[in-house]
Structure 1
């Protein structure tokens, strides 16, 4: 959104036009019951809804969804599953996490989420990772305009296959997961790139996909590092300025 602001500098004050990131609530209605309301950027709503359901362990594939209708006027995604989900009312108990816009995970799902085996023989060079991160940063058009969004992407090692931006880092991740599922991309042959902090709930979402290498411009938390080491998942942070910190499973980076 474009708005008028007062810019104050060391030389004076000026009224100028500036662009701020758009934000809206999105309610996901699952089989007639309100599942969650997310605060998000108003784009790629179908992808966000599908990605959220998948990364939360509610669906195993896009094929589990019988119908999805996006109501832009009411900011609601109506989702009907082909089969009733196991877990009943327990599904609707949530953990509000540390993310922008309050990331959400369902506590009873954490130990039940199916985890794909990680590919042991997946390798990528440090030079390639740094090159991909530069390409990733160049694609951040909304961030360049507003400075107010996070980015996430998948790469098969050459180019960026999926790229999304959102005010919430959890949402950006769910959006790329949703699009990858719609396009039937092979997660195990992808690396994931993100601009934001890597915390435990982000790690649970990523682990669900089977991606074995995660790289970020930001920092991981101690719990994220512990999970990455437990799962033998390659985690690299502070990927910028020609360097990176590798916290786990460094053998995949050659």
Structure 2
């Protein structure tokens, strides 16, 4: 966060210092050798960068585990033409996916507003009929992971963990909990997808016990977020916001637990009711 002097009008004009969320530009080059074969860029909050990169690679299908990354090099620079920090990451993977990467788009930047993954190699795209059809996943068998009474405690538990949002109103947050509601990873970012990638990366670089984790996000649950959970192996996702139609259809196909509008003592279950003891 950065301090900036601004003006505010509430019946009369006043000037004061306010905290502003910081946005940085991440440039990532990927290849099995020294010359990159894939690249992407992202507007992110410039912290937990390595966790974001690893989480993004896993949740977008480029790697299956952290050992698939042979080398990771990160360096930053300040450019006059672009405000804020520019972070460069050069990666060497053991091998690139042989099939077309499911997240390929016709553009190559992850915008902070939506955070959808993209690649400069082009092609692909998601059709409404074939969405998720390229995933090589099997439907999970739900079993109770957490009770409904425990689930409604999550908003209370994170109340003291979202200081950046309270001070700027600009950040999304993501959290990973174990079945006992111990907080295992947390991240904030200007993009909700980026925050999810960061906690996935934190878990990947740490214990890697995704099957025992519940993801809570402050953003709405979209199909992109569902795909990230499916690829990482996270069985249950919850949000204080809404779940979108395509996200629910995809989640039901693979028995992913989806909970929305988790507020107060109520929540909606859109998919995977068996993950919750009611």
CA distance in 1, matches of 2:246, 2:103: 24
CA distance in 2, matches of 1:91, 1:220: 22
Match of 2:4 in 1: 3
Distance 1:215 1:22, change over 3 A: same
Residue 133 of structure 1: SS of its match in structure 2? helix
205, 210, 215: which one aligns with 1:182:
205
Match of 1:94 in 2: 105
Match of 1:136 in 2: 158
Please tell me whether the aligned partners of residues 56 and 113 of structure 1 are also in contact (alpha carbons under 8 angstroms): no
Residue 183 of structure 2: SS of its match in structure 1? coil
1:169, CA displacement in angstroms?
A: 0.6
- The answer to whether 1:203 aligns with 2:226 is yes
Give the TM-score taking structure 1 as reference length.
Answer: 0.90
Question: Structure 2 regions of 5+ residues with no counterpart?
Answer: 78-85, 127-131
Give the TM-score taking structure 2 as reference length.
Answer: 0.83
1:225, CA displacement in angstroms?
A: 1.3
Distance 1:116 1:91, change over 3 A: closer
165, 169, 179: which one aligns with 1:147:
169
CA distance in 1, matches of 2:111, 2:70: 32
- The answer to whether 1:192 aligns with 2:215 is yes
Please tell me whether the aligned partners of residues 74 and 89 of structure 2 are also in contact (alpha carbons under 8 angstroms): yes
Match of 2:60 in 1: 56
CA distance in 1, matches of 2:40, 2:151: 35
Please tell me whether the aligned partners of residues 115 and 209 of structure 1 are also in contact (alpha carbons under 8 angstroms): no
Q: Which has the larger share of helix?
A: 1
Please tell me whether the aligned partners of residues 114 and 208 of structure 1 are also in contact (alpha carbons under 8 angstroms): no
CA-atom RMSD in angstroms: 2.3
CA distance in 1, matches of 2:199, 2:138: 18
1:228, CA displacement in angstroms?
A: 1.6
Distance 1:175 1:2, change over 3 A: same
CA distance in 2, matches of 1:242, 1:143: 23
Match of 1:28 in 2: 28
Please tell me whether the aligned partners of residues 142 and 274 of structure 2 are also in contact (alpha carbons under 8 angstroms): no
Please tell me whether the aligned partners of residues 57 and 114 of structure 1 are also in contact (alpha carbons under 8 angstroms): no
Distance 1:152 1:168, change over 3 A: same
Distance 1:25 1:234, change over 3 A: same
Aligned length: 252
- Greater Cα shift, 111-120 or 230-239: 111-120
- The answer to whether 1:40 aligns with 2:44 is yes
Please tell me whether the aligned partners of residues 42 and 112 of structure 2 are also in contact (alpha carbons under 8 angstroms): no
Match of 1:16 in 2: 16
Deviations 1:151-205 (A, max 9, x none): 0011002221100000001100110111100003311111110000111111111
Match of 1:77 in 2: 89
113, 117, 122: which one aligns with 1:104:
117
Residue 42 of structure 1: SS of its match in structure 2? coil
Question: Structure 1 regions of 5+ residues with no counterpart?
Answer: none
Residue 161 of structure 1: SS of its match in structure 2? strand
Residue 244 of structure 1: SS of its match in structure 2? strand
Please tell me whether the aligned partners of residues 203 and 227 of structure 1 are also in contact (alpha carbons under 8 angstroms): yes
CA distance in 2, matches of 1:23, 1:8: 25
